[in-house]
Structure 1
C-alpha cells in the first residue's frame, strides 16, 4: 500500500502564471495537465491548480502578533529545505505576508514559519520544526 498523501485542488485565475509560480518559483515538477488544470508534485503530495473565475476572500486570525490569512495551506519541511525555499522565494522577489521567523525558540515546539501568496491570491504557509517529533506534541 502506498504511503498516505494529500490531494489538494486550488483555484487559480491564470494558468501560465500558476505554471511560472509553482513550476518556476517553487520548483515543483508538473504532471498531467489540460487547458484548465495542472497537476503538481507538491513534495510527494498532489496539488492541482484549476482555472476558475476567482478565488475565495481570506479572513485573518491573530497568531503570535501576526495577522494569519485564513484559509491557507502548505507543508512541513525540514529546516534545510525550509531555508532553501525561503532563499528561493526571496531571490524570485516574492513578497511575504509574514517573513520567515522562529516561533517558540528554545522550547520543544520550536519551529520556523513563513506565509506568502501565489499569483491567484492563495495563501501558503511553510513550516520547519527543529524536532520533527514535536509536530503534534501538546
Structure 2
C-alpha cells in the first residue's frame, strides 16, 4: 500500500470533523481532544489543534491564477471530483478557485478547484482527463 500521511494545523476538532467527515465524507480514524485522523481518499490526514495557524500566501501562479501555497489535496477520478464539488456547493463552501478545466486541449488537461477548510487550510482537488498524463511534460 502506498499512501501519504500529512499532519496539519486546525483551529478546533469540532469544525474540522464537520468539514472533513460531514462535508467531504472522509471516514474518521483515531482522535483525542487535540488531534483527529481522517481517511482522505485513501490517505491519512492528521489534524492537530493549534493557536498558531499561518496566514495564506497566494504566491503560486498556475495557468494565470494565483493559488495559495502551501496547499494540499487529492487527485480524484472524474466522478469523485464531481461528487466533491457537489458536496462543497451543497454546504455553501466558498471556492478560492472555482471549478474549471485547466490546460484545456493540452497535455495534462484537468479539472481543478480550490477551497478552504474551516481552519483556513487551502485544499486543491484535481481530476485529469487522461490519468497517464499526471506527470507528463
How far apart, CA to CA, are the structure 1 residues paired with 2:36 and 2:132? 33
TM-score normalised per structure 2: 0.96
Counterpart of 2:39 in structure 1 is: 41
* RMSD over equivalenced CA pairs, Å: 0.9
Q: How does 1:24-39 map to 2 (within 5 A)?
A: 24-39=22-37
Counterpart of 1:119 in structure 2 is: 118
How far apart, CA to CA, are the structure 1 residues paired with 2:19 and 2:57? 23
Residue by residue over 1:35-75, the C-alpha shift from the partner in whole angstroms, topping out at 9 and shown as x without a partner, is 11111001111001110112122211222221100110000
Q: How does 1:1-12 map to 2 (within 5 A)?
A: 3-12=1-10
The number of equivalent residue pairs is: 136
Counterpart of 2:106 in structure 1 is: 107
TM-score normalised per structure 1: 0.95
Counterpart of 2:71 in structure 1 is: 72
Residue by residue over 1:98-136, the C-alpha shift from the partner in whole angstroms, topping out at 9 and shown as x without a partner, is 000001112221100000000111000000000000000
Structure 1 gaps of 5+ residues are none
How far apart, CA to CA, are the structure 2 residues paired with 1:20 and 1:54? 21
